[in-house]
Structure formats: C-alpha cells, structure tokens
Structure 1
Amino acid sequence: MPMPPPVAAACELLGLDPLHVADEGCLVAFVAPAACRRPCTCCPSGTQARRIGRVTSEHSSRVVIRTLLGAARAVDMLVGEQLPRIC
C-alpha cells in the first residue's frame, strides 16, 4: 500500500502499525475491475488514487497484504480504540 516515507519511518520508529493510526483523507474503496481503468473522479485531482489490490477466492472474507519482504499477512480488525492524531 502506498505510504509517504515520513509516515512509514515514524511508524517504524514508534513501533506502530500504520493501518491502526488515525489518518485523515484516506479512502479504500472496492470497485469493479473496469472502474480501475478510468481515472478516479471522486478525488479532486485523481493523482493520489492507486489500485492496491484485488478480490480473489483464495482468501475469501479476509484482507491479506504483502509485506515489504514479500510475506503475506492478514489485516486484522482493530481491537480497542484507534490511536488519535497527535499533531
């Protein structure tokens, strides 16, 4: 998943999972494959829109991501409260 280098570095330094830290302005949407071929019209400029995955039958009802090392890991539901923004 695309992530600004400063965010990745801060999360690594603090031992945080960036998927569980509050982040304004991000949207993950499931859209039909044909919609991925067109520019994103829901974003003001469309420049930040990225295809980050696909739905498969291999991991039905789970979200699985690839780590930077190429391993697969499940994205678990957040337990407890999301970490608040501190800036």
Structure 2
Amino acid sequence: FESSLPVREEVQGVCEILGLDPLYFANEGKLVTVVPGEKAETVLAAMKSHPAGIDAAIVGEVIASPPGILLLQTTFGTERIVDMLVGDQLPRIC
C-alpha cells in the first residue's frame, strides 16, 4: 500500500522533483519483516514501542496470486508492478 510506506516528506519531495522512485534508494538501517496476518498488529505495536521503530508500519500483505509478483497499490487506487532493481541503488542522500 503506497500510502502506508513510511517515506519522509523531504525524500518524497526530492523524488517528485527529480522523477525518482524512493523504493530504489539505499536505505541502511531499515527492516522489512513478514509475519502471519493475525500477528501483524501485535508485532507492529512491539516495534513501535522501541525508539527505532517509531515509523514502523504495515505496508502490505502476501496473497496467492499472481505468484512471484510484487504489486503496489498506488495512491491513485491503481496497481503497479514493482520490478526488481537492475543496476546499482540510488545513493543515500545524507
């Protein structure tokens, strides 16, 4: 769910100006975890209870079809395929 992705406003603004996708920037110190759906809220609460997890969010769900494809629900209500990165990540902006 694109609207659930914890992307800082500054990063989103730079990406919009430059026509870049924040999903392809280097993000050291980030964690993506997959948990059973019935445990998601409990795990999220535990993560948010730690200072490093303040921006933790549920950003999607695993579904059976289509297999091997990552679909992103956009803020416009459509879906797009998130392709595997080809080449180098965009460098981290410090």
Q: Which range, TM-score by smaller chain?
A: 0.7 to 0.9
Consecutive unaligned residues of structure 2, counting only runs of 5 or more, are: none
Q: TM-score, normalised by structure 2?
A: 0.78
Provide the alpha-carbon RMSD of the alignment.
Answer: 2.0
Tell me how far 1:41 sits from its aligned partner: 4.2
Q: Residue in 2 aligned with 1:12?
A: 16
1:59 shift after superposition:
2.3
More helix by share: 2
Off by >6 Å, runs of 4+ in structure 1: none
* Number of equivalent positions: 87
1:9-47 deviation line (CA, Å, top 9, x unaligned)? 111111111111112222211111132121234973343
Compute the displacement of 1:54 (Å).
0.7
TM-score by length of structure 1 reads 0.83
Counterpart among 48, 61, 75 of residue 55 in structure 2: 48
Which of structures 1 and 2 has the larger relative contact order (alpha carbons within 8 angstroms, sep 6+)? 2
Which of these residues, 64, 79, 84, is aligned with residue 86 of structure 2? 79
